[in-house]
Structure 1
């Protein structure tokens, strides 16, 4: 665990030294709050609360997709990455350190969303709801963390950037993150339960307000976690086999 903390510190320092990477992960969720939530749902306590939960889920998705998808692929292109794979400590410290760093970095896009909600909307939340929301953030991060790792280990950096950019908006729109619960267009309501974003945001809605998640969405979320975990492991082993066999 001590080695994992060292790797996490290294990952955090490396990210902070490139400010544009931090700014990029915080811009979209904060901008979405300002342009879509504040004008249209800011005066409705229930609507603003659910919309803020959606934007928090949006922030979690973007942060993990780009941080792991692009970050891992860029690391693979550096000589330091193959060197660390030769060390006797194994893969666990690097994986654990990257996950810990990612959890810390999640605060950067989420904090502006919460501040905007508190200052510019009528969103309300109880202490219990806030703590439950923090727990849901960790669960919601799982499929997108694993998806980012799969992209990062399977693709070179330019391709990883393109893929992350191509999939984040369809996942957000298709999962109903840009609309209130039950108010998305009909075709979105049909496909949303089968996307990981929907299960994640329904858990978030349930944590902060009076909402009952759809069992189909929750089962689908679990299936996505398992599938993305298997894909990430496959991509890692494939990359290892190509460069070290």
Structure 2
């Protein structure tokens, strides 16, 4: 059964509390998020989180054509993600294979916004065809320009079609390496992106949300213990927790 969509007051109330908890301890736990939007400029930009710079030269993890074809032929999972997935993708592949024998093929690229991830989805759909399950683990880099996100979600749904399931991991970003004012903008923009996902789920019955943000919010200490820089999961604690949420969603067919 699909979970109920949180209302907007709940999203902003819990999100604000999450941001406050993170801001309060950020000076004690600050670390540079080098993989996350490495070329972001110093300006806060129009939405308070900064401006995303060039990402095309950032680190990436992309499966070989042979692995992509094997995953499609065995009806495994195609994954499109950002730097979180570059870090966690291998561990996720092992967990998924051990759980139900599914192969995972990945197109993960650090600092990439969702528009680039959907471009990759379109390329794989045209070149290889798609399996029944598609996983989008993208959105963290869209905090810099939230209004464009909904259109990319709609694009992804259109590419996947009605006979496949599109899984989407939602977003929690409050970078420890920025000022408290920018951290509050990060949380506000994360909640804005998540609301767009929830709204899309009302329109598209084959869109399923992996609720990573809510899992972190429900116990605020998780924001400190499960995220090493306010974005990327700690290893192995946060990595295992996030990957388990993903696998649980993928195997509930």
- Whether the TM-score (by the shorter chain) exceeds 0.5 is no
- TM-score normalized by the length of structure 2: 0.27
Which one has more relative contact order, counting CA pairs under 8 Å at least 6 apart? 1
User: More helix by proportion, 1 or 2?
Assistant: 1
- Which one has the largest radius of gyration? 1
- TM-score normalized by the length of structure 1: 0.27
